[in-house]
Amino acid sequence: MKRDKKIVLIAHCILNCNSKVEGLSQYRGALSEVVSLLMEQGLGIIQLPCPELTVYGVKRWGHVKEQFNTPYFRKHCREVFKPYLEQIKDYQAADYQIVGLLGIEGSPSCGVNRSCSGDWGGTFSSPKLEFNLNNVKSIDGAGIFIEEIREIFKEEEIGIPIIGVDEKDLKQTFKIIKGLS
């Protein structure tokens, strides 16, 4: 049987926007432009788990990076990634190529070059809450899940490019995806 032996890992919500915080999705189900392009490139697609959904569920509030920057969430990220690390090792040992991993820019978990930051926490009756909600900002740097994956790749000496999908400007993402295969 024919196969290209090329695989891409993608953030969960690229195939299933229902994992996002309610109100955040800019598409109905899957990010079809990205998925179609990956398929056209002959890439097999592995959907990573959503590290937020698997802790807080679909009814969670939006979070900022600071709230996930805990030993517990980092440990959770490593645990949910472990079965995928095993697959990566198995595929690579059998001469398959993992051409890249796609994250989601701006996410406190899956951001690659950009995440979001804010001084959040406490009760909803806190007088500080409105001020803090208005002061959430985009910051340089990866989200916590991607930070942990980078660290795991370093520990395991795995060289897979990690690419951020900018859902508001897909042109740059398309160029990078075209260069993957």
Stretch that binds ligand SF4, among 7-15, 63-71, 149-157, 169-177 (CB under 6 A): 7-15
Determine contact, residues 99/46, Cβ cutoff 8 Å.
Answer: no
Residue 9 bridge partners (DSSP): 46, 101
CB closer to ligand SF4 out of 130 and 140: 140
For residue 151, the minimal CB distance to ligand SF4 (Å) is: 17
Helix pair 71-93, 144-156: axis angle to 10 deg:
50
> What is the footprint of ligand SF4 within residues 31-90 (CB under 6 A)?
50-53
For residue 1, the minimal CB distance to ligand SF4 (Å) is: 31
For residue 24, the minimal CB distance to ligand SF4 (Å) is: 8
Helix pair 170-178, 32-40: axis angle to 10 deg:
10
Residue 137 bridge partners (DSSP): 117
CB closer to ligand SF4 out of 116 and 160: 116
Q: Return the structure tokens found at 167.
A: 């859902």
CB closer to ligand SF4 out of 6 and 20: 20
Whole-number Å distance between alpha carbons of 108 and 146: 9
Q: Measured over all CA atoms, what is the biggest interatomic distance in the chain, rounded to whole angstroms?
A: 64
The pattern of x and - marking residues 90 through 119 that bind ligand SF4 according to CB under 6 A reads --------------x--x-xx---------
Give the residues lining the site for ligand SF4 (CB under 6 A).
11-13, 19-20, 50-53, 104, 107, 109-110
